Amino acid sequence: MLLSIGQECLDRDPEAVYFMPDGTESRAHMEALAVIGERDEVFVRWVMHPDEEVRRPAIEGLGLFLTDGARALEVLRSLLPGNGMVQRLLVVRAVATVALRDAAVHSAAADWPEDLAGDTAQVPEVRLAALVHRVRCTPGELGDAVVPAAVGLIREIAPKETGGEDDAPCRAETEPDVAAGTALSSGVPPQVAAAFEDLECYGRVHAPTSSLLESFHTVLDNRVLERTALLTEQLCSADPGVRYDAISMARKLIGQWRGDYTGLVVLIAGCLLPEDPYTSAAAAEVLGVLVPVSELAREALAAYVEAARAKHGPGVWAARERLIRRAHQEAVRALASLGDLRALDCVLEALDGGTDAWRAVQVAGHLGETAGDLTPRLSKLLAEVDFSDASQSMSANALVSALRELGDPAAAAALASSVTVAVREEQWHTAASALKALASFGPEAAFALDVVRPLADAQDVTVRAAATAALWELEGDAAGVVPRLVELLDTHAADEAAAVLGRIGPAAAPALPRLRKMLTAGYEWTRVYAAAALWDIAGAAEASVVVETLLTAWAENDSTSNHVLACLNRMGPAARPALPRVRKELTLLRRSGRFRSIPHDEDLLTACRSVTARI
């Protein structure tokens, strides 16, 4: 705890002043550092403590807090011989920390890991740590030989004895406390209960070298080719712990940077081994997150799902063994996220059986071609939701989203009923979501107008906006909805109202003065929605101001880029002034788009290519 407090204080601005709840000023972070600094010699005693659990944080603390940098180096270097692997790696990291915080000893502190990295008498893990932390000390001196050297050292790391029937890392220790999750599951959404059950797994390290490899990836930053080469070796390591931890590191790289990840996806798919459900679950979960980049893993996922059903039976989704159950569920979810119909039987079994059905609901919408099988089941589950229980809102919204994604008008009756019940129970967000789902079916859901029409006057703005949009989609009466939408432009639902006005097109011309005024809004998202609507309603006459507004908003917040590109794509040749920015986007390495998610970024790149091709 002392180490944690000190690290938190070091991360804060030394000049900052904070305020207590009673309004008094506080500089507690500097006061705490002063207390630690006055007693920094105690870390020297603690690094010699017989208890390993005391020595480890003491080593880190000594590197961070001992005022005399030269003394810190002396003590730390003396600790390397005779200690266990984890402590030796901590010692090397602490020396690099001293080099970074004390310019007076930087040279001496940085030279020691450089010498250590070349010492063939040391085990490869220590040499790897020395190599990585030497780079941390002088990141500007990263040469072409560093990554190949690291790759060579990873190859030398021998697998650890697990004492088990297979190479599964930490098999006996890694299963979360199911009893704790069971106790929590009463009275809270199953998604939340599951998140708490999984907490123990996240952040768990399975190999001593994992934290230093994380540091190495941080130093390498946007060097995608080098990081890909490093991860390739990690995923091929003889040490199962190194392989396991590489899965999450690959997820971070692929999620943050654009590149060719064909090889990494294949290697992650290679971790889908029936004899190792613990690692398989991690690999399958990551492959699900990496859609659509994980397309190449489709056959491996399908094979894993089929093998699990063959070995454990068709009820494996609800298997008693937690690791087997979780690995199978994650593989099914990843396969379904790719739109693969081979996941259908498992999804149907989950929905019918009830065990962890919410996990199947989350991916059911991707199986659109099988709506006839899924719609009745999802509609039944939606009808069974108790809308008077606020804790069930997450489940209700997930079901509504799945039905909307499936696009089957046969769900309209169930959605209309859920709107009525949600409004009665004042579950406004769920009511609005169900109204939007109804709207997505267009005139085929027109029978629900008696439910929708009164809600266009609802007191809740979110419901009113969703109902007004649904009115347009279900009956197409522009004269009836445009005045309502113009009124909504002065509420927090302005963006949604502008989007509907744009879909109405030229018939929404009465909204143009208000939309032009929105172009001066301080919030860039409001300007984007207004500009897009202007183009869709007025066309070429507004082209210049629309492009200028879109580009300015994009520069301020790249999360708007998907919406910006969608409008530019509709504009065709009129978007020519935006071409330099669009071409630049195609050259950037960091992922962009809404939430910087992989699907949104991939859609963004596709839209950029479409715009450049059209212009």
Threshold 0.85, pTM exceeds: yes
- The three-class DSSP label of residue 590 is strand
Predicted pLDDT of residue 83: 77
Report d(CA 542, CA 433) in Å as an integer: 32
Predicted pLDDT of residue 20: 87
Predicted pLDDT of residue 140: 81
Predicted pLDDT of residue 446: 97
Residue 233 near residue 151 (C-beta atoms within 8 A): yes
> For residue 315, what pLDDT band results from cuts at 50, 70 and 90?
very high
Predicted pLDDT of residue 161: 55
Predicted pLDDT of residue 185: 47
- Crossing angle between the packed helical segments 524-538 and 561-571, to the nearest 10 degrees: 20
> Taking 80 as the threshold, does the pLDDT of residue 98 lie above it?
yes
Q: What is the pLDDT of residues 143-191, one digit of tens each?
A: 889 999 999 999 998 776 543 334 444 443 334 333 333 434 457 788 8
E strand or H helix at 333, and its extent? Answer: helix 322-337
Q: What is the pLDDT of residues 245-267, one digit of tens each?
A: 999 999 999 999 999 999 999 99
Residue in the structure block whose two tokens are 């207390």: 35
Predicted pLDDT of residue 230: 97
Mean pLDDT along residues 555-562: 97
Predicted pLDDT of residue 218: 94
Structure tokens at 267: 């290697």
532-560 per-residue burial string, b: 16 or more CB within 10 A, e: under 16: bbbbbbbeeebbeebbebbbebbeeebbb
Q: CA torsion 271→277→278→280, rounded to 10°?
A: 30
